[in-house]
Amino acid sequence: MMKLQDLVSKRVSVRSFDTTRVVENDVLDEVFEIARLAPSACNKQPWRLVVVKSKSKLTELSAAYDRDWFKTAPVVLAVVVDHTESWHRADGKDHADVDASIFVEHLCLAAAEKDLGTCWVCNFNPEVANRVLGIDGVEKELVALVPIGYPSDNSVFSKAKIRKDMSEIVSEI
């Protein structure tokens, strides 16, 4: 098993997938199980995962995010939240997006551990994506599309990350 530091370093945004390799259902199930264990505010777990595998649906969904690399993904995971199930703080702050973010990062880390590449996609056309996925866009909201598959080049996992210096992000009072 990988050390957490190694796993977090390995997890990168993959934008080129091996179009000849199928992602096995049992591997996806293992990734989903790890994501399912993600914490959420008051344990509400307001997320839902729509797995898009069919060529026709993948083609339709690519109209919501028209990038050549996105079209190489063998599977796209649509992360949806249900605002009627999420926890709301006393001031009304809805934690659905926070919960979905934790869920997606668990999913991405689990995928990396299985040598699968992922990439958070938030810059999609919600109207097109909602239509393709059958989401109402009011109570249920699409938060992210996550293409998942084996990278076309495994060296992507050893790519150095550019991050701010610790002094820029940590302060003490």
Domain coordinates in residue numbering, the chain:
12-153
Q: Are 132 and 61 in contact (CB under 8 A)?
A: yes
| Nearest residue to 113 via CA among 30, 39, 45 | 30
* pLDDT tens track for 40-94: 999 999 999 999 999 999 999 999 999 999 999 999 999 999 999 999 999 999 9
Beta strands in the chain (DSSP E): 47-52, 75-82, 117-118, 140-149
Record: fold of 12-153 = NADH Oxidase (3.40.109)
Q: Are 106 and 38 in contact (CB under 8 A)?
A: yes
Question: Does 2 have pLDDT greater than 90?
Answer: no
pLDDT of residue 173: 95
What angle (nearest 5°) sits at the alpha carbon of residue 119, between those of residues 86 and 36?
Answer: 40
Average pLDDT, the chain: 95
Percent of the residues in the chain that have a pLDDT greater than 70, as a whole number = 100
Q: Are 19 and 74 in contact (CB under 8 A)?
A: yes
Question: Does 137 have pLDDT greater than 80?
Answer: no
Strand partners, 94: 88
| Nearest residue to 138 via CA among 146, 147, 130 | 130
Q: Select the more confidently predicted residue: 154 or 60.
A: 60
Q: What is the mean pLDDT of residues 105-110?
A: 98
Question: Does 1 have pLDDT greater than 80?
Answer: no
Could you give the count of Cα atoms lying within 13 Å of 148 in the half-sphere of its Cβ? 34
pLDDT of residue 138: 78
Taking the C-alpha atoms of residue 76 and residue 62, their distance in angstroms, rounded to an integer, is 10
pLDDT of residue 54: 96
* Residues ≥6 apart with Cβ < 8 Å to 20: none
Q: Widest CA span of the chain, in angstroms?
A: 54
Strand partners, 51: 77
